[in-house]
Structure 1
């Protein structure tokens, strides 16, 4: 059985390793734009210089798995067409290309390794008293602003979003904003129209002079699914059936941010469960058994506020927020354990 996995983030790496373990007859090829596994949840730490977000794929994947470094132009009809003009045939394929970042001109994207590395170099070159503006009031923006503020207290850091920390509620919402304020991060609840010549223009008409502007908003997914003729939603995510297979081709499983699972939001926490379920479905099919429908279940939302603080708010399985939350060092430890667990769960040495 030939299996091709496109993308080697949390979802793709875990899926490949799990298939290698459970489907002994599988000949697996992983295609990724770079030879490294990128811990996306640590990109804000890479920017601040407090962590390294990459690990060689050779140490993440089982030895039986082949890695091809390159881009994919199209997938379908049992063929993956690569950007270099070659192609790879498959019996089953896994589409795990994640989500994308489309910054406005003048801002550095935070959702990719390349963008984060660009931001790290630019941040290190800033003189004391310089200003950093982070655009995006969600988890990526909050963690980036807090990490930069803690690592570089000599800088002025601000975060701009239509409602900063709006993904939290009640006292957890107040605690996140309070944590930012304790790190001397300026909070502006506003929208951004454009960035020009180091000036961030807000919808309110205000103008913010900035030495470095970081774009921390996840939007849409790479265009591979749409390019391949698969049915997608408005954000470019491929429609899937109850077993996480493409609605157009049952040989293609779609997992992680690029899968249009009803009720799913962009979240690293969903990548691993979806990848594990899809791999298990393939294992069942290869054994002549029926696959089991995927069930979407949320547990919590969490953000770090530097290295020693965090806030985690519990959710119901449908992602609606509960009032209960944890904060401080306990929450920071739990968030760190979750981040390490995400990487460990994807590794070849884990019980994937």
Structure 2
């Protein structure tokens, strides 16, 4: 049986490795645009040089898994068409292309490997006293602003969001903002409308001088599912049945950020359980058993505030926020455990 996995992020790598473990005799091919597994949760660390964030795929994937470097033009009807015109036939495929970044003109995106490398070079070239602006008040923006401020205390760092840390509540919300302020990060609770001429323009009509403006928002997904004729939602995510199969082509499982799973958010904590559940359903189908529905289950949210601080907030299973939160060493440990766990799951095929 031929299985093609499109994408080698958290969901794709786990799906490939788990398929080898769970589906006897499966011939697995992974298609990815680069030869590395990128830890997107560590890209903010890569920017300041405290983490590598990239690991060769040959050390992430089990023996026997074939890797094809390239981009996919279309998937469906038992075939994956690559950008070089070659075709990979499959019995089943996993669509795991993740999410994407749509940066505002004049900004450098930090949510992609290429953007993080560009930001790293630009940051290293900034002289003391320069102003760095991070647009985005979510986890990516908060972690980026904190990391830059801690690594380069000689810079003036600000974060713009409406409001900053709006994915948290109660004491966690306050702790994150106080943590940013302790690092010297100026908080601007307002939306940005444009970046031109070295200035960030705000909705209020005001503008702020900025020597380097980083885009800290991850939103949207690649258009591969829509381009392939698969059914998608308004955001372009592949519509799936309860077993995570495309409703347009049941031979294609969609997992991770690119899958329209009700109640799911962009996160490796979402991607890895989905990939594990999808592979398990493939194993059930091969064995002649019915697939089982996937259920979203969350435990917590957490953000780092530099290398020595973090804030975590517990959630209900549906990702709604509890009042309980933590900071200090327990929160640092929680966030690091989650980051390492995502890579461990991807490498071993253990997840869920």
TM-score normalized by the length of structure 2: 0.98
Structure 1 residues 238-253: aligned runs within 5 Å: 238-253=238-253
Cα distance in 2 for partners of 1:329, 1:180 equals 17
Cα distance in 2 for partners of 1:276, 1:349 equals 7
The CA deviation string for residues 64-115 of structure 1, in whole angstroms up to 9 with x for no partner, is 1000000000001111000011110000000000001000110001111000
Structure 1 residues 270-349: aligned runs within 5 Å: 270-348=270-348
Q: Is the 8 A contact 1:71 1:83 kept in 2?
A: yes
1:185 aligns with 2:175: no
Structure 1 residues 53-68: aligned runs within 5 Å: 53-68=53-68
Cα distance in 2 for partners of 1:111, 1:12 equals 18
Q: Is the 8 A contact 2:13 2:349 kept in 1?
A: no
Q: Residue 98 of structure 2 aligns with which residue?
A: 98
Cα distance, 1:349 vs. partner?
8.0
Q: Is the 8 A contact 1:111 1:218 kept in 2?
A: yes
SS of the equivalent of 2:323 reads: strand
In structure 2, stretches of 5+ residues that fail to align are: none
Cα distance in 1 for partners of 2:85, 2:320 equals 46
Q: Is the 8 A contact 2:276 2:351 kept in 1?
A: no
TM-score normalized by the length of structure 1: 0.98
SS of the equivalent of 2:164 reads: coil
Cα distance in 2 for partners of 1:233, 1:127 equals 45
Q: Residue 224 of structure 2 aligns with which residue?
A: 224
Structure 1 runs (4+) greater than 3 angstroms displaced: 348-352
CA-atom RMSD in angstroms? 1.1
Q: Residue 170 of structure 2 aligns with which residue?
A: 170
Cα distance in 2 for partners of 1:199, 1:351 equals 44
Cα distance, 1:194 vs. partner?
0.6
Q: Is the 8 A contact 1:14 1:276 kept in 2?
A: yes
Cα distance, 1:350 vs. partner?
5.8
1:267–1:351: structure 2 CA closer, same or farther, 3 Å change rule? closer
In structure 1, stretches of 5+ residues that fail to align are: none
Cα distance in 1 for partners of 2:329, 2:132 equals 26
Cα distance, 1:348 vs. partner?
3.7
Q: Residue 84 of structure 1 aligns with which residue?
A: 84
Q: Is the 8 A contact 1:219 1:235 kept in 2?
A: no
SS of the equivalent of 2:68 reads: strand
